[in-house]
Amino acid sequence: MVKPASPGIGYVILCHTLNNTIGFFRRGPLLNAGELSANMPPRRKPLPNPLPEGYTLTDTEKKQWKLGKIIGRGGFGLIYLASRRLDAPVPGDSDFVIKVEYHENGPLFSELKFYQRAAKPESIERWKKSRGLNFLGIPCYFGFGLAEFQGTRYRFMVMDRLGTDLQKFCVENGGG
């Protein structure tokens, strides 16, 4: 719900949830619908066209990865099961996943920069050992690359498969 704060000055946006109301105030002149939409963030890009199951990706270190079935869809792209074995189908209990987005998108690129700096297996092991931990709740990073399929460029990142996703876990356990 949008309410004028005072004539010509700004507006207040009220968001109602079960437990509370959150208000936002914008200073400045009131905007008409056209001006308001011009100030909105850009819409999300569409999810990439799926790559075929069994397709082989080669990362920047020349390691090859075979795509399995799609196990997730996010705001940026698709998540596939993956395997280093190219001569067999990717098993449903694979230890690896590959996140894929269109090359022009940005979210995976930003995430990738974090994983390259902080989540290489040797870095995670060193950090866990220095703090006496036997588990750290972030996946290890194993590689990334660019690929082209049917004239479309993709960016991908290979990482540990940790299990079910958080949203699914919450829903299955009575949360939302």
Q: Across the strands, what pairs with 82?
A: 67, 96
Look at residues 165, 124, 164 and name the one whose alpha carbon lies nearest to residue 141: 124
DSSP string of 53-103, one letter each residue: TT-EEE-TTS-EEEEEEEEEE-SS-EEEEEES-SSSPPPTT-SEEEEEEET
Strands of the sheet with 78-83, listed across from one edge: 56-58, 64-73, 78-83, 96-102, 152-160, 141-149
For tokens 């719900």, name the residue.
Answer: 1
Residues 98 and 67: their CA atoms lie apart, in Å, by 8
Measured distance CA(139)–CA(120) in Å, rounded: 9
99 is in an annotated binding site: yes
**Number of other CB atoms surrounding residue 93 within 10 Å:** 7
First to last CA, the chain: 24
Annotated binding site for ATP: 99
Annotated binding site: 99
